Structure 1
Amino acid sequence: MNETVSLGRIAGVRVGVHWSVLVIVVLIALGLARGRFPLAHPGQSTAAYWALAVLTSLVFLASLLAHELAHAIVARRNDVQVDGITLWMLGGAARLRNEAPTPGAELRIAAVGPLTSLVLGGAFTGLAVGLDALRVPGLVVEAVAWLAGINILLAVFNALPAAPLDGGRILRSFLWHRSGDRLRATRGASAAGRALGWLMVAAGLAAVLLGGSLSGLWAALVGWFLIAAATAEARQAELRGVLHGIPVSRVMTHSPVSLPAAVTVAQFLAEAPYGRYRHPAFPVESADGRVAGLVTVELINRVPPQARAMTTIGDVMRPLSEVETTGPDDMVMDLLPRLDASTDRRALVLDAEGRLIGIVTRDDIGRIVTWLTAAGRTRD
């Protein structure tokens, strides 16, 4: 889930939000302002209900962020690189660049999330009791009590032993420790995730069809997400098993055709696609021969026809700082999640001196996987 708006960095971790966060904010605020708050404390103004409901929903998002930050901080302490955190409609996601090196590290990274939510739930509970003792308006106490309950519920739900929930990661760490086989452990946790997902879908649809409760649609939606995420996680594990131990140098396209940054878009288009420029993306070199960035046909197509004679490739390229790069000896299975999260789905391969020696795309990896799968290569 890619971020729509960046919120900067917290504790050194990049944080962003996806536009779908607005959905959960609206749903929570609507449920509180039109439901729970008026029922529990009638007689207040509509503006008071809505203002407190919106504030409560934002504090809940902050609770989700704290949950994911805990994952990210513990992951970094266990030698797992963190690309960032994105909040979206169904919660939050910490993007980890590589997997935990040991079952113990996996356990620590997974367990800290529910533990953080449980601590937050306890803190909000204590705050609600204290505010009530101080005779603070009951509407405010109700909001804090709701935050306490939702965080405790979040902790319990995330602790369920089913991937991709935190409890599923805990289950995988146990199975991994017991069997010594990470791939088999992932299969077991993913199977549990699909079972829980189907149970939630069935329960949600039953609530809608038999009980007439539209809240069942939310349970069915979460269940469907669990099924899809658990299935994707199992496939990703199988893929990592196939690619285990394969360096980028075995997969990349060597000595890719590059473009000088000073070439105009019109000159490039005059030679493509029948000359040497017949690919959808090209590394770009500066005047001194160093890699400056990457340009794609999609970026070139954005240049208006009347401006192409005066616009250079260097003007439209994606600078090197925004392009995924890797080394020839890096492992393909470590590069794969970075490619999936990148804008161009490709990476430039640079040697130790920063010279361009190759390019690798998601399609390159897909072809290798097809061949290795046909050859029956699957191992952890």
Structure 2
Amino acid sequence: MRVGLHWSVLVIVALVTVALARGRFPEAHPGHSAFAYWALAVLTAVVFLVSLLAHELAHAVVARRNDVQVEGITLWMLGGAARLRGEAPSPAAELRIAGVGPLTSLLAGAVLAAAALGLGALHVSGLVVEAVAWLAAINVLLAVFNALPAAPLDGGRLLRAYLWHRTGDRLRATQGATAAGRALGWFMVVTGFADLLFIGNLAGLWPALIGWFLIAAATAEARQAQMRGALEGVPVSRVMTPDPVTVPATATLAAFLAEGPFGSYRHSAFPVLEADGSVTGLLTLRRVNAAPAHARATTTVREVMHPLGEVVTAVPQEPVLDLLPRLEANPLRRALVIDGGRVAGILTVADIARALAWPAARKV
């Protein structure tokens, strides 16, 4: 499972480190060296990131137990996001997947609080106890904040599960949860800037920044839900470009270029076939352009193509929604549709965009 970091994580790590090293630690326990404050602040920030990762790993584990594949985890300012391949199969599964995150953070907070009390009883350095107590408090705060009923927070997922259970309509439930997310985001932005402008409190920038992230994430989730609603049940065969122009693997690049751009080779990517008609790769114009001009007369398509192992493949009956995550993650942004070992079509992200823009294609 891949774990990624959004750039906002660097912001939160820097803010946490500076706030602890130059604020809370020296104020609560003066007399220590600057090195001690900064070293402990950095360590505390790292442990905080680990607790965020534990929160998301809990989502991933429960998702897999509910038959939802997990592509990876991305940590960001508000915690993180487990990238799921597909939707929860039922409101109950959605409830379990969403609810385990805040519960994990709450449990981490309780364990850390008990550790702080134990270290204090053992007369460990007050500075260390302060760091552990801060981690306990921030994990409890993270659990409470993520439980707010607004997408994309875990509470928004819980709200969606409830609305889905009540209405039986997953898209409508998602729209309700994302609307709540945007409302909470705008509230935080307005109150944050009001605090800054009318009171002069620079700390108001913090909720305003979080609110902006909430608005952006909720809007993106709403668009994703609309797309899923439009493409639900649509097979790849309905969206793909059928019977694409192919290129023999043994053809030279010079022969290939001689046929374009006004002949049959007027596209930018072509399935490559062996002599028996089986597909062996994908030729892109970018690969052709990268080949030295003086060598194109002797260089074959096979030598510059993307081998089939680098290309996303699908079958005509496969749902577009199942293919889309793989298509977006692949740098080629294309999928070869293969039926019985032969090329049946080619599908790009642009093909899907056209399908979404065509109202009559929204339902099968």
> What TM-score, normalized to structure 1?
0.87
CA distance in 2, matches of 1:16, 1:312: 38
Confirm or deny that 1:232 pairs with 2:220.
yes
Q: Which residue of structure 1 aligns with residue 67 of structure 2?
A: 79
Select which of 346, 351, 358 maps to 1:364.
351
**Worse-superposed segment, 300-309 or 223-232:** 300-309
Select which of 6, 29, 35 maps to 2:17.
29
Contact 2:356 2:362 in 1 (8 A): no
CA distance in 2, matches of 1:376, 1:284: 30
Contact 1:255 1:356 in 2 (8 A): yes
Q: CA deviation at 1:148?
A: 0.9
Confirm or deny that 1:321 pairs with 2:304.
no
Contact 1:265 1:312 in 2 (8 A): yes
CA distance in 2, matches of 1:222, 1:259: 51
CA distance in 2, matches of 1:118, 1:307: 64
Q: Which residue of structure 2 aligns with residue 62 of structure 1?
A: 50
CA distance in 2, matches of 1:212, 1:308: 67
Q: Which residue of structure 2 aligns with residue 97 of structure 1?
A: 85
Q: CA deviation at 1:300?
A: 4.4
Q: Which residue of structure 2 aligns with residue 42 of structure 1?
A: 30
Select which of 194, 203, 220 maps to 1:206.
194
| Gap change, CA 1:275 and 1:229, over 3 Å in 2 | same
Q: CA deviation at 1:209?
A: 1.1
- Listed as ranges, the gaps of 5+ residues in structure 2 are none
Aligned Cα root-mean-square deviation (Å)? 2.6
CA distance in 1, matches of 2:21, 2:67: 44
**Worse-superposed segment, 145-154 or 295-304:** 295-304
Superposed CA deviations along residues 317-340 of structure 1, whole A, max 9, x for unmatched, are 444334332221111233334433
**Worse-superposed segment, 259-268 or 338-347:** 259-268
Confirm or deny that 1:274 pairs with 2:262.
yes
In structure 2, what residue type is equivalent to 1:368?
A
Q: Which residue of structure 2 aligns with residue 181 of structure 1?
A: 169
In structure 2, what residue type is equivalent to 1:42?
P
In structure 1, what residue type is equivalent to 2:204?
G
In structure 2, what residue type is equivalent to 1:41?
H
Q: CA deviation at 1:313?
A: 4.8
> What TM-score, normalized to structure 2?
0.90
Contact 1:252 1:358 in 2 (8 A): yes
Q: Which residue of structure 1 aligns with residue 245 of structure 2?
A: 257
Contact 2:234 2:363 in 1 (8 A): no
CA distance in 2, matches of 1:113, 1:209: 35
Confirm or deny that 1:153 pairs with 2:138.
no
Contact 2:103 2:143 in 1 (8 A): yes
In structure 2, what residue type is equivalent to 1:159?
A
Counterpart of 1:256 in 2: which secondary structure?
Answer: coil
Q: Which residue of structure 1 aligns with residue 95 of structure 2?
A: 107
Q: Which residue of structure 2 aligns with residue 9 of structure 1?
A: none
Percentage of matched positions with identical amino acids: 69
Question: Across the two proteins, how many residue pairs are aligned to each other?
Answer: 364
Q: Which residue of structure 2 aligns with residue 3 of structure 1?
A: none
Counterpart of 1:25 in 2: which secondary structure?
Answer: helix
CA distance in 2, matches of 1:162, 1:23: 23
Contact 1:283 1:348 in 2 (8 A): yes
| Gap change, CA 1:28 and 1:281, over 3 Å in 2 | farther
Superposed CA deviations along residues 193-227 of structure 1, whole A, max 9, x for unmatched, are 11101101111111221222222222112211211
CA distance in 2, matches of 1:281, 1:376: 25
Superposed CA deviations along residues 89-118 of structure 1, whole A, max 9, x for unmatched, are 443221111001111111111111111111
